[in-house]
Structure 1
Amino acid sequence: MPTFRAISSTATVVQPGGRVPADARLVPLQTAPDVLSTLLDRINATSANLAACLDRFEGLHILMFSSADIDVTAARLATAGVGHGGVNTVRRPAGADIETVRYLEIDGDQPGAVAEGRIGVVAELDRQIQAARLADHPNGAIGLVDATLCAADSELNAIQARYEHYLGKPPRTDGPAKVFDLDGTTLTLVPDSSLDTLLPGEHASELPALVACTVSVRDLATTQNVLQDNAIPVRRAASGDVFVPAEAGLGATIAFRQAD
């Protein structure tokens, strides 16, 4: 079975008549002429989905899982009755190289079908190209290690079952949370009644919602100092992680964890 891990992604939607920020870096995508029309339809569906998500609230709305064999994953999802838009293939510049990206979106042709946002799977990316992109950030960030999805208590079991179909595996129980182990990263499902216990002071403005992500860092004390030196508020999670509350994190709780 393909292994999965959560990966980070950021995007926004420019409304008609809006301006692209002057410092934005536009990345052209290349694809085969015979699939261009289909790809454009799917990109438009994705844009509509993200726009609807941002209308709900500012915050996290994208969660992509990495698969070692995306074609096997696509077939498994179809067999499990999970709708998706098929595997798309695009190419994009990456310095002096051209990077091939293959991905699928769950219920990709039905904007809004997945309430928490854009959920999908991407084939493992070229490790050399990805390594060349890594910057030595002052906060000591190494990588994404967890995404947290909050659900109404009454809906938690149904959402857990849905992600069991997506990921092809059950979660483990950790207190009030359900945790999917994903090859070095985790997806944590937490009931709304317990969110404040795990992340003191935090609450979800809408449910279900991707409320937090956790980043591993080289030295947690250094990271906390960098945040405080920049007047960014920090709190301490029940796990011992340091986190920036959603009100200061553009609608998303950003947690930092000491790397092993």
Structure 2
Amino acid sequence: MASESIRLHHVGHVVRDLAGALELYRRLGFTVHAPSCPAMAPREGAEPEPFGAANTHADFARDFLELATVVDGTGHLPADARIVPLQAPPEVLPTLLERINATSASLAGFLDRFEGLHILMFSSSDIEATADRLTAAGVAHGGVNTVRRPAGDVVETVRYLEIEYAEGRIGVVAELDEGIQATRVPDHPNGAIGLVDATLCTADAELDAVQARYERYLGRVPRASGPARVFDLDGATLTLVPASGLGSWLPGAEAPALPALVACTVAVGDLAATRDLLRDNGISMRETPSGEVFVPAAFLTFRQGDQ
């Protein structure tokens, strides 16, 4: 068993048209911040131009949903996007540019595979213990990285490690600073409270191997639930579903590739009110066998949470 507490940190939806994705998420009832994008002047004296990747969040108290896109001149950036000129000492700038370009290339690769959920990051109460446990389990990772970024009047420190795999960007992040995160959390019209599940679909023949892999990542063993294998995390779950059982688990869901993240689940304060909002906004939805509301177009499920 993992000595550290593990839960969901964020799930990321990689899209080609960020403006269109923002419009969809707002129709789903999320309050989503204006996206931000780095910029650099292409030559001395020129105006900074956006490049790399742009992203935004729908924030909750302990986690968030991310929307991300590649900025390539046709990225359909929203009109309210915040263009952030890079400001870094000369000795730091090459490393910063390398990271931005690597992120952009990774997102582009995800989009070549399919447009949808490609980012699954777990939260750890002790990121160093997680790194040591992964190393001992034979899981390759890039070590713990540290970045610092402005967050209002303070500087937020983010510590993370990454595990690249077929289903996308997988990794672990140190727990969010509750004080800083509290300044970001809006009231969501759909009553969203937080992330409670991420669902990964895999080929039937690969289910045991994928389960074994995530046992090493998470330091715990899943329970069986119908066709699925469910990892219980701190207040959330990771669900592995074989392709043959996906339709019964999530009616209307399709796996664009295997393995693939096919859905994430958000808890809401009043599921009936959320259903009414979705219906009023013209959102096509399905009901799952457990009574949740699944929106196939957004790879998103809504579940009744604690009032």
In 2 relative to 1, CA 38–105 (structure 1 residues): closer, same or farther, beyond 3 Å?
Answer: farther
Residue aligning to 1:71: 128
Q: Specify which of 199, 205, 217 is matched with residue 154 of structure 1.
A: 205
Q: CA deviation at 1:157?
A: 0.7
In 2 relative to 1, CA 34–73 (structure 1 residues): closer, same or farther, beyond 3 Å?
Answer: farther
Q: CA deviation at 1:36?
A: 6.2
Residue identity (%): 67
Q: Specify which of 67, 73, 76 is matched with residue 17 of structure 1.
A: 73
Residue aligning to 2:302: 256
Deviates more, 1:178-187 or 1:11-20: 11-20
Q: CA deviation at 1:17?
A: 3.2
The whole-number CA distance in structure 2 between the counterparts of 1:222 and 1:142 is: 14
- For the 8 Å contact 1:27–1:93, the answer to whether it is kept is no
Alignment-mate amino acid for residue 221 of structure 1: A
Q: CA deviation at 1:2?
A: 0.8
The whole-number CA distance in structure 2 between the counterparts of 1:182 and 1:7 is: 11
Q: Deviation above 4 Å: which 4+ runs of structure 1?
A: 26-40
- For the 8 Å contact 1:50–1:117, the answer to whether it is kept is no
Q: CA deviation at 1:168?
A: 1.1
- What per-residue deviation string (whole Å, max 9, x for no partner) do you get for residues 170-189 of structure 1? 11111110001110000000
Q: Specify which of 175, 178, 181 is matched with residue 124 of structure 1.
A: 175
- For the 8 Å contact 1:87–1:102, the answer to whether it is kept is yes
Q: TM-score, normalised by structure 2?
A: 0.75
Residue aligning to 2:149: 92
- For the 8 Å contact 2:167–2:259, the answer to whether it is kept is yes
- What per-residue deviation string (whole Å, max 9, x for no partner) do you get for residues 76-133 of structure 1? 11121111111111112222222111111114xxxxxx11000010001110111221
Structure number having the greater strand percentage = 2
Residue segments in structure 1 that go unaligned for 5+ positions in a row? 108-113
Residue aligning to 1:194: 245
The whole-number CA distance in structure 1 between the counterparts of 2:204 and 2:114 is: 20
Residue aligning to 2:160: 103
In 2 relative to 1, CA 75–142 (structure 1 residues): closer, same or farther, beyond 3 Å?
Answer: same
Residue aligning to 1:60: 117
- What per-residue deviation string (whole Å, max 9, x for no partner) do you get for residues 127-165 of structure 1? 011122111111000000000000010111111111111
- For the 8 Å contact 2:70–2:107, the answer to whether it is kept is no
Deviates more, 1:7-16 or 1:151-160: 7-16
Deviates more, 1:184-193 or 1:36-45: 36-45
Q: TM-score, normalised by structure 1?
A: 0.88
Secondary structure of 1:133's aligned partner: coil
The whole-number CA distance in structure 1 between the counterparts of 2:98 and 2:128 is: 21
The whole-number CA distance in structure 2 between the counterparts of 1:28 and 1:90 is: 17
In 2 relative to 1, CA 14–164 (structure 1 residues): closer, same or farther, beyond 3 Å?
Answer: same
- For the 8 Å contact 1:219–1:258, the answer to whether it is kept is yes
Does 2:187 align with 1:133? no
The whole-number CA distance in structure 2 between the counterparts of 1:68 and 1:31 is: 30
Residue aligning to 2:30: none
Deviates more, 1:87-96 or 1:62-71: 87-96
The whole-number CA distance in structure 1 between the counterparts of 2:282 and 2:80 is: 24
Q: CA deviation at 1:34?
A: 7.2
- For the 8 Å contact 2:123–2:175, the answer to whether it is kept is yes
Aligned length: 249
Secondary structure of 1:187's aligned partner: strand
Residue aligning to 2:234: 183
Does 2:5 align with 1:3? yes
Deviates more, 1:76-85 or 1:44-53: 44-53
The whole-number CA distance in structure 2 between the counterparts of 1:30 and 1:72 is: 33
In 2 relative to 1, CA 221–11 (structure 1 residues): closer, same or farther, beyond 3 Å?
Answer: closer
Alignment-mate amino acid for residue 72 of structure 2: P
The whole-number CA distance in structure 1 between the counterparts of 2:250 and 2:151 is: 37
